[in-house]
Amino acid sequence: MGTDQFGRDVFTRVLFGGRISLLIGTIAVLLSISLGALYGAVSGFVGGACDNVLMRFVDLVLAFPLIFFSVTALALFGSNLTALILILALTGWMDVARLVRAEVLSLKERAFILKARAAGLNKSR
């Protein structure tokens, strides 16, 4: 990759910049997956009216363009590393929540769960 006009190694600078980008992306994705998995699991497991309310909230959040939310939040809270990670995590959990909810609803109707209910076991068991 060579050097720039000041004699600095471009490859080393790219590696250093990539380190920060990977840190931001990894932490944001881990937080997003954790939040979405918890939200979707609760929604799918509880079911009923609670499930409807939780999923309508996800639909409401998905209806707004997330880029406007992101730009507004960065303008309000500043563009530091923590704010960027939180904004990325808070704008990416909805798809994970829908996927986890669908899987939990699928698991609730499997034969071994129906047999356990027929045997008289409670929901938490």
Per-residue pLDDT of the chain (125 residues; tens, 9 = 90+): 788 888 888 998 888 888 889 999 999 999 999 999 999 999 999 988 999 999 999 999 989 888 888 888 888 888 888 999 999 999 999 999 999 999 999 998 888 888 888 888 887 77
Q: What is the pLDDT of residue 78?
A: 83
Q: What is the pLDDT of residue 66?
A: 86
In the chain, domain spans:
25-118
Report helix, strand or coil for 9: strand
122 phi-psi bin (left φ>0, alpha ψ -120 to 50, beta other): beta
Q: What is the pTM of this model?
A: 0.79
